[in-house]
Amino acid sequence: MAGTDHGRRQAQAPGPSFILVAPQMGENIGAAARAMWNFGLDRLRLVAPRDGWPNPRAEATASGAAPVLDTVRVTETLAEACADLDLVLATTARPRDLTKLVLTPEQAMAEARAAIGREAKVGVLFGPERAGLETADVARAHAIVSVPVNPAFGSLNLGQCVLLMAYEWMRSGDATPPAEYVLAGTKRATGIEIDKLREHLVERLDAVGFFFPEHKRPSMIVILQNLLSRAPLTDADVRVVHGMIRALAVKVKGRK
Amino acid sequence: MAGTDHGRRQAQAPGPSFILVAPQMGENIGAAARAMWNFGLDRLRLVAPRDGWPNPRAEATASGAAPVLDTVRVTETLAEACADLDLVLATTARPRDLTKLVLTPEQAMAEARAAIGREAKVGVLFGPERAGLETADVARAHAIVSVPVNPAFGSLNLGQCVLLMAYEWMRSGDATPPAEYVLAGTKRATGIEIDKLREHLVERLDAVGFFFPEHKRPSMIVILQNLLSRAPLTDADVRVVHGMIRALAVKVKGRK
């Protein structure tokens, strides 16, 4: 399509990382790489790709989008893939039993661009082909991205979803930036800081037998994760909450 | 994806006809039908499809998008396909030796919607898979539509091009809806619930001497207040946090 100078600028500027969670078909990984590179995005991460990595089928399909595949990052867990990210957005089709901000692709990429302008690192999650993201994965995100489709027929596949998000990233290049959080001298907490905070809280709650009955523990932990990711927490906030948890639980721990 | 009432309206309102000129693979015709129906468009025309019509491969690929394939119109020439149209837009990747208005997909679909609002009939042309539209076909159009892509890599295929145009048709339908929280069966906590939660937390933290030195107490309480008000908490969240505070602090309280 008729290229503009606009596209060239974007290929060089930093963009969000697109994170494919448990992708199954190599062809879809290749198609995602091509869709990204069409709009100048080159940061692809894979979490536990079914057929391992490297994947010859992905390479065959991605032909021409080598700059994306050459720098792909592969991790075993989503936590690792998100460890250095400040803002995580989860694409999902289905309504969830999670209280979470829901954005259109346009709003999401405007947020991403504003965050990157503040030197934050941004990731966009895409679930596996059939089932989409699991609820625990969505809970990790700061917001949900949902494409408003025909309610009688919403059937976007992985490659189409990546394409629309990449396209909106390109479009966001000229958009007025949205309202942003004033961070008051601190910076937004990273994924790993939030993970550690949740682990700390769970450890202390375990010590007092909070998760009872035991079979409810996993869903309670998802609720906690969702709570901690919903507010934009700063690193100062994280320190304060660690301090509170420690203070509340210190004597209990001493008695164990 | 999270369907909205918006999509339903569009499926019933008239939209532009998408016209595939000399499409080769049945699979691509099916993919185009699916992409259109995702965004409520159901008027598909084919000009001289290579493998004739009907095409079992198109039907297999389009599964679920039957409302589009069932009403497809097939003609031998582009002139016949355009005979009843008032506004024709040609999607094309390459620069042309034609003096012609060039629109972005967003501008093109805004034009299309405005024209349809005046009861005009609108068609969007898509060329065959390899070569794209011929210059003579483009010359017939009132304007060119071009997707601004990475100049180092512009490789949108037929299905992707149809998807982006259909998506922009949907977007042109209304002002962007505001970002919203999915509340997952609960309601947003009231101010008084948040106040009580903060008071509970402060009381327990006071009991363990968290606010030290004393002169820092007011500013620490402001930080807590800010933390609790930043995330949109539901009443369910508030109950969970009360429970955690109680669990962590219960034995401490017993020792006071």
From first to last of its 256 residues, chain A has per-residue pLDDT tens of: 333 333 333 444 689 999 999 999 999 999 999 999 999 999 999 999 999 999 999 999 998 999 999 999 999 999 999 999 989 999 998 767 777 888 999 999 999 999 999 889 999 999 999 889 998 899 889 899 999 899 888 889 999 999 999 999 999 986 444 444 555 567 778 888 888 998 998 988 888 888 888 888 888 888 888 888 777 788 888 888 888 888 887 654 444 4
pTM for this entry: 0.80
Nearest to A102 among B3, B7, B181 (CB): B181
Q: Name which of A99, A147, A171, A234 to mutate to probe chain B: the one with the most chain B Cβ atoms within 10 A of its Cβ.
A: A99
Taking a C-beta distance cutoff of 8 angstroms, is the pair B142, A17 a contact? no
Shortest CA distance from A205: residue in chain B: B248
Inter-chain CB proximity A95 and B177 less than 8 Å: no
- ipTM attached to this prediction: 0.78
Q: Name which of A43, A149, A221 to mutate to probe chain B: the one with the most chain B Cβ atoms within 10 A of its Cβ.
A: A149
Inter-chain CB proximity A243 and B170 less than 8 Å: no
Inter-chain CB proximity A240 and B223 less than 8 Å: yes
The mean per-residue pLDDT over the stretch B2-12 comes to 40
Taking a C-beta distance cutoff of 8 angstroms, is the pair A148, A101 a contact? no
Nearest alpha-carbon partner for B104 in B66, B149, B140: B149
pLDDT above 80 (res B39)? yes
Task: Supply the pLDDT for residue B176.
Answer: 52
The mean per-residue pLDDT over the stretch B3-18 comes to 59
Which residues are bridge partners to A17 per DSSP? A123
Nearest to B1 among A156, A204, A220 (CB): A156
pLDDT above 70 (res B224)? yes
Nearest alpha-carbon partner for B123 in B65, B56, B75: B75
Taking a C-beta distance cutoff of 8 angstroms, is the pair A69, A36 a contact? no
Task: Supply the pLDDT for residue A212.
Answer: 83
Q: Could you report the per-residue pLDDT of B81-131, keeping only the tens digit for each?
A: 999 999 999 999 876 667 778 899 999 999 999 999 989 999 999 999 988
Inter-chain CB proximity A227 and B241 less than 8 Å: yes
Nearest to A250 among B5, B40, B208 (CB): B208
Q: What is the dihedral of CA B104, B105, B108, B110, to 10 degrees?
A: -110
Shortest CA distance from A164: residue in chain B: B164
Inter-chain CB proximity A2 and B204 less than 8 Å: no
Query: Helix, strand, or coil here: A118?
Result: coil
State the nearest Cα–Cα gap between B34 and chain A, in angstroms. 8
Q: Name which of B4, B5, B107, B149 to mutate to probe chain A: the one with the most chain A Cβ atoms within 10 A of its Cβ.
A: B149
Instruction: Collect all residues of chain B within an 8 Å Cβ-Cβ radius of residue A210.
Output: 243-244, 247-248
Instruction: Collect all residues of chain A within an 8 Å Cβ-Cβ radius of residue B248.
Output: 204-205, 208, 210, 245, 248-249, 252
Q: Which residue has the higher pLDDT, A63 or B56?
A: B56
Which spans in chain A are helix H?
A: 5-12, 26-38, 56-61, 66-69, 78-82, 105-117, 135-140, 158-171, 191-207, 217-230, 235-255
Euclidean distance between CA atoms B143 and B87, whole angstroms: 9
Inter-chain CB proximity B205 and A237 less than 8 Å: no
Inter-chain CB proximity A4 and B148 less than 8 Å: yes
Give the per-residue SS3 of chain B.
Answer: CCCCHHHHHHHHCCCCEEEEECCCCHHHHHHHHHHHHHCCCCCEEEECCCCCCCCHHHHHHCCCCHHHHCCCEEECCHHHHHCCCCEEEEECCCCCCCCCEEECHHHHHHHHHHHHHCCCCEEEEECCCCCCCCHHHHHHCCEEECCCCCCCCCCCCHHHHHHHHHHHHHHCCCCCCCCEEECCCCCECCHHHHHHHHHHHHHHHHHCCCCCCHHHHHHHHHHHHHHHHHCCCEHHHHHHHHHHHHHHHHHHHHHC
Nearest to B244 among A10, A171, A205 (CB): A205
Q: Could you report the per-residue pLDDT of B157-188, keeping only the tens digit for each?
A: 999 999 999 999 999 986 555 566 666 667 77
Q: What are the angstrom distances between the C-alpha of B73 and each of B18, B44, B54?
A: 10, 7, 11
Shortest CA distance from B41: residue in chain A: A150
Q: Name which of A133, A153, A237 to mutate to probe chain B: the one with the most chain B Cβ atoms within 10 A of its Cβ.
A: A153
| AA identity, residue B15 | G
Euclidean distance between CA atoms A175 and A166, whole angstroms: 15
Nearest to A7 among B151, B182, B247 (CB): B151
